[in-house]
Amino acid sequence: MKFAAKLTVVISTFLCAALSLGGSWTVQQNFARVRQDLLRQRSRRQLYDRYALETAFAGQTEESLSILAARYEAEQRALTTEGAPMFSLFGENGTVLYSDLPHSISYADQQQALAAGETEATFLQGEGQYFLLLSTPLRGLDRPLWMVSAYDVTPQFRERDRQLGQQLLLQLAAMALTGAAAALASRRMTRPLRQLEEASTALSEGKSGAWVDIASRDELEQLGDTFNRMAGALEDQMDLLRQETDRQKRFVAAFTHELKTPMTAILGYSGMLRTAELPPERRLRAVNYIYHESTRLEALCRELLLLLGLEKGELQMEPVPVFSVYGEVRRSLPEWPLRLEWQGEQQAVVQADRVLLATLVRNLVLNAAAAEPKDNTVTVRCDRCDEGIRLCVEDRGKGIPAEELPHITEPFYRVDKSRAREKGGNGLGLSICAMIARLHGSPLELDSREGEGTRVWVTLKEAKP
């Protein structure tokens, strides 16, 4: 059963129970007052009849009592507008001396009224009628006599039954109206829950845009806002997961391609050397190809290991003079055909991992050289800024097209794939640089214009003296 139906049943049941109890209590209270009024009126009437019969029976024989009782009853029937009195007379040992009671009032009922005494009243139902039975002894006579009076109270009981029936119809009408109103109210109140259910189902199926719009100004609106924040966070996470999955697919595809190309060359030339006698110059060319491609594979493995090691985030941070790192990079390129120059602060000291910082600078310098600068110069610049020390590598080379910039730091991504491979590049240099910069708390930032050159920089924390 849905929550709205449960809410409807609960509201309807509660209201009907309240109406039933309240209505029944009201009817019963009213009827109790009616019974008290009846009892007072009939008790006075019985007292009047008792006095009259005691006067009439004084000095009479037992045989004439029934005649006198019948005469008295006939006289009263002619005088009263409330109907003739009905009573029975009992002598010693429960002997019935006179009775004008209906057949529906049995001897046992009359004896029960006698046993109750003159202070108690007995209400009796028989053959569709209701009677009030009162008993009293006749006093001042020479023999013991008892009188049981019966009064028809059917109209009062029928009025009670009519009110109860009317109350029942009222309850049924109230139940129908309340049920309809409760159903509408419950449906309106649970509309936010249905929205949340539909949005949750859509979210579980991976559909985007699973939002709810709840303006109830209560806890459900707060729940809706919380759900929307959760849905937004989940969508962001799913987008990141999809992007990561796409990157992994591109990485695997690129890695497979990078392995396939040198392995094909190595296997082809080694097969030629194994199966055929080649002239010395062709044999030397095959050996050179095998050596060149093996070197590429060795460099690829080395940089992949470096990239995997960087993902663990293990750094040995220490104060590092930036100019000394520049000197290490310069010494590592003894036969470099371009000019490498320094500009800016020579006394700057940063908090960094010395080995990784040297790797970052060297890769950026080699990447700048591959852009074929017009002035054959690669510049390393070091300046102070509000955030710390900005270390920048500049060139005036070919530049990078704007559409290539978002992917430039992805593993194995190359702007000019054929020329990069000829120069021994494998597309991991900038990926490693970006990872090193991120580990040092800074993004790797690029500014490049096609045909004008490229600037790549990272901002490092200055070491405290």
Give Dmax (Cα) for the chain. Answer: 171
Residues of the chain with CATH 3.30.565.10: 314-460
Q: Which amino acid is at 329?
A: V
Please determine, for residue 84, whether its predicted confidence score (pLDDT) is greater than 70: no
- pLDDT tens per residue, range 225-273: 787 777 777 777 777 777 777 766 655 655 565 566 667 777 877 887 7
Please determine, for residue 424, whether its predicted confidence score (pLDDT) is greater than 60: no
Please determine, for residue 389, whether its predicted confidence score (pLDDT) is greater than 90: yes
Alpha carbon dihedral 182, 186, 187, 191, in 10-degree steps, equals: 160
Output 80 or 385, whichever has higher pLDDT: 385
CB burial readout 404-440, b (16+ within 10 A) else e = eeeebbbbbbbbeeeebbeeebbbbbbbbbbbbbebb
What is the spatial distance between Cα 72 and Cα 85, in angstroms, rounded to a whole number? 9
- pLDDT tens per residue, range 355-366: 888 888 988 998
Q: How many other C-beta atoms can be found within 10 angstroms of the C-beta atom of residue 121? A: 17
What is the spatial distance between Cα 296 and Cα 290, in angstroms, rounded to a whole number? 10
Residues of the chain with CATH 3.30.450.210: 3-176
- Whether residue 439 contacts residue 306, with contact meaning beta carbons closer than 8 Å, is answered with no
Angle (CA) 9-10-15 rounded to 5° is 100
Q: How many other C-beta atoms can be found within 10 angstroms of the C-beta atom of residue 352? A: 28
Output 219 or 373, whichever has higher pLDDT: 373
**Within a 13 Å sphere around the CA of 104, how many CA atoms are in the beta-carbon half?**
15
Concatenated DSSP letters of 369-412: HHT--TTSEEEEEEEEETTEEEEEEEE-SS---GGGGGGTTSTT
Let me know how long the chain is: 465
**Which ranges constitute the DSSP H helices of 58-84?**
62-79
CA nearest to 444, candidates 414, 399, 413, 405: 405
Q: Which fold has domain 314-460?
A: Heat Shock Protein 90 (3.30.565)
Please state which of the four CATH numbers 3.40.718.10, 3.40.50.300, 3.30.450.210, 3.30.1490.100 is assigned to the domain occupying 3-176: 3.30.450.210
CA nearest to 8, candidates 174, 171, 181, 168: 181
Give how far Cα 374 sits from Cα of 121, 146, 204, 366, 404, Å.
Answer: 127, 141, 56, 15, 21
- Is residue 149 classed as helix, strand or coil in its secondary structure? strand
- The pLDDT-based confidence of 382 (bands split at 50, 70, 90) is very high
- The pLDDT-based confidence of 421 (bands split at 50, 70, 90) is very low
At residue 420, the pLDDT reads 45
Provide the token pair at 308.
């995997």
What is the spatial distance between Cα 135 and Cα 131, in angstroms, rounded to a whole number? 13
pTM, 2 dp: 0.46
Q: Which of 18-22, 191-195, 311-315, 381-385 has the lowest mean pLDDT?
A: 311-315
Quote the mean pLDDT of the chain.
Answer: 80
